Amino acid sequence: MGRFGDDKIEEVRSRADIVEIVGAHVRLRRAGRNFVGLCPFHNEKTPSFSVNAERGFFHCFGCGAGGSVFNFIMRVEGLTFPEAVRSLARKYGVTLPEHDVSGPAAGEREAMLKANEVAAEFFAHVLWNTTDGALARDYLKSRGISVETARAFMIGFAPSRPASLAKALEKRGLREAGVKVGLVKKDGAVATGGEVYDMFRGRVMFPIRDAQGRAIAFGGRVLDARLPKYINSPESPLYSKARTLYGLFEARQAISSNVAAGKDRAILVEGYFDVIALWQAGFKEAVAGCGTALTVEQLRVLSRYTKNVIACFDGDAAGRKASMRALQIFLQAGLLGRGIFIPSGFDPDTFVRERGAAAFAELTDKSELLVELYVKEELAELGGPTAKIEARMNAAERVAEKLRMIHTAFEFHEMVRRAALLLQVPEDVLRAEGKKQISSQRGGREITEHLSPPIPIGDVIAKAELTLLARALMHPDLRGEIFAAQPFDRYRETSLSNLLQAVCEEPDDSPGLAEWVSEQLTEEQRSYLSGILVDSDVNSQEKTELFEESFFNQPDWKALNRPGYFKRAESNSSGSSEEFKSPRRIVHDCLAVLFNSGTTEQLEVLKKGAKDTAISEEATEKSQKFILLRRAQTKTANDRDMN
């Protein structure tokens, strides 16, 4: 179960209060046995996010996010599983092993983190406590950076002497770790007289920290006219430029504290001093890239904390072109994004220092959606909204290429409406063009308002496999029946079959069993499982059936194809609704699906054929076969119930 013993993970899990942890990020209210609130992982106005304290799981019925308390911390803070365990252990006073138990590679990682920690402390000491740091202190003062702000960002100074840090690392046995993270370099073999020297010399140092506040890399700026002005740490096992954001550790607290109020956002800028100056002026949600152009990976990391991102661009023509390029990157990351243009001659750092925080706040208040900025730039190139209709339609085609990348139906239709209004082209034409693009890119499937279901809605077998696993977790008294039926070789996924067998062999409701199972699943499988475990009556959006079946009256099989059937296990005392089943009946239905999986798969093929084929003799024949198969399955299921 990862890098720690099962007993330690279980101790952390049992002490961690999932309602308390989630409640720090989401305003929750009790609803029966659950707590509900607005999902922190996507924008919504009606609560679809549910937490079950008894089982220790959360689930969002809007976007599908779900899992244990560890999964929540991993998502909201951008941590790995071991990091989430450590974070919760610190919060709840659980002592974990000081050293990793997963082998030499893990020990090397710890050594590299330690080398960066020593370097950050070394640079800070030089800046504040030595004569070497005097010029750097004056420089920071000239940039308007206060001592308090500089200390908050752990700013330091690397002395000009060639091996100052190298010697400090050598004393602590961290020289090789320092080489691996790019703090020091070697000329030739050290054992045969090769020199070791510092990579950063005579530079103001900016530690680049991960979401937990650990230094994973550094950026350094010269105080004179030397080039390059900035250098950054090289890529390492700790650091990837394409996935790292400067200031994220400092910003995430500010972002998270505003989630419940619906005012969460991040401000994306270009440089270290932009982040620091905005933070000092009160805009503590500012982040920046690390010396590279904006990447999809960086935005995906940021989207774990907020979907509301404002990007800052220069106010000149180059800045406007940059905003057009940024749109595609935002949309690929699943974000609409907004943009502001800093007046010519300024950057965010100089603007907020010279014009003040109120002036910058006014800019952010007037931010525009990147889609709208893109459309306006297209129009400007045409000469405005009075351009010939042919030119505007050509522009509309280019806009449609961007609109096809929008992930949700609501956002798509709203952006179509706005773009059509700006372009003064028919809205239905632009919508059709956008949908055509979507269909060509997604195998002919229309977009849907919610994210695609983790388990395909028509795949009864996949749902039955996971549902049987969930019921075995929730109802230990049914494990014997499930094991006696021996459904394991009927599973299409061997990993799920092995998990089910392991759960059935547990004699009682073992502590931490559900969390252990959850960690073995894919994100999609975990989402479906958590939806069952939170035991909510909230149902996913009804979908249109692939084949109209109003003339079939086999409620068992018809119900199996409905979204939410497997998740509803409450008994109906009146017995009037076939969709509300006891846990035992749902287990029996799942077993029926698995033991008839061959005909079920044939059924799916015939359903599609009967739907897609024009009314003809062939279509009639397919429909007849479909009916016969359906009746055969119903008979088999009923015979099993009688036995």
Residue 67 has a pLDDT of 87
Beta-strand runs (E) in 520-637: none
Q: Which two tokens stand for residue 200?
A: 């950063």
Quick one: average pLDDT of 497-524?
76
**Range among 26-35, 204-213, 550-559 with highest mean pLDDT value:** 204-213
Please say whether the beta carbons of 289 and 270 come within 8 A.
yes
Say whether pLDDT at 13 is over 60.
yes
Residue 611 — very low, low, confident or very high, per pLDDT cuts 50/70/90?
very low
Span 447-465, pLDDT tens digits: 333 333 334 434 678 888 8
User: Around Cβ 343, how many Cβ atoms within 10 Å?
Assistant: 12
Residue keyed to tokens 């030397």: 226
Domains, the chain, ordered by start: 6-92 (3.90.580.10), 104-239 (3.90.980.10), 248-366 (3.40.1360.10), 376-441 (no CATH), 460-642 (no CATH)
CA distance 594 to 363: 59
Residue 279 has a pLDDT of 97
Span 191-207, pLDDT tens digits: 444 578 999 999 999 99
Say whether pLDDT at 353 is over 90.
yes
Residue 83 — very low, low, confident or very high, per pLDDT cuts 50/70/90?
confident
Select the more confidently predicted residue: 478 or 310.
310
Tell me how far CA of residue 31 lies from CA of 51, 53, 207, 517, in angstroms: 10, 12, 45, 26
Give the whole-number percent of the chain exceeding pLDDT 90: 31
Say whether pLDDT at 425 is over 90.
no
Q: What is the overall mean pLDDT for the chain?
A: 78
pTM: 0.61
Lowest mean pLDDT, pick from 103-112, 174-183, 545-554, 618-627 = 545-554
Select the more confidently predicted residue: 334 or 453.
334
Q: For the residues of 341-394, what is the DSSP string, one character each? A: EEPTT--HHHHHHHT-HHHHHHHHHT-EEHHHHHHHHHHHHHTSTTS-HHHHHH
Quick one: average pLDDT of 112-139?
96
Lowest mean pLDDT, pick from 99-103, 134-138, 591-595, 596-600 = 99-103
Residue 552 has a pLDDT of 26
**Range among 153-162, 245-254, 316-325, 425-434 with highest mean pLDDT value:** 153-162
CA distance 394 to 401: 11
Say whether pLDDT at 332 is over 70.
yes
Say whether pLDDT at 441 is over 80.
no
Say whether pLDDT at 632 is over 70.
no
Please say whether the beta carbons of 272 and 206 come within 8 A.
yes
Say whether pLDDT at 629 is over 60.
no
User: Around Cβ 526, how many Cβ atoms within 10 Å?
Assistant: 24
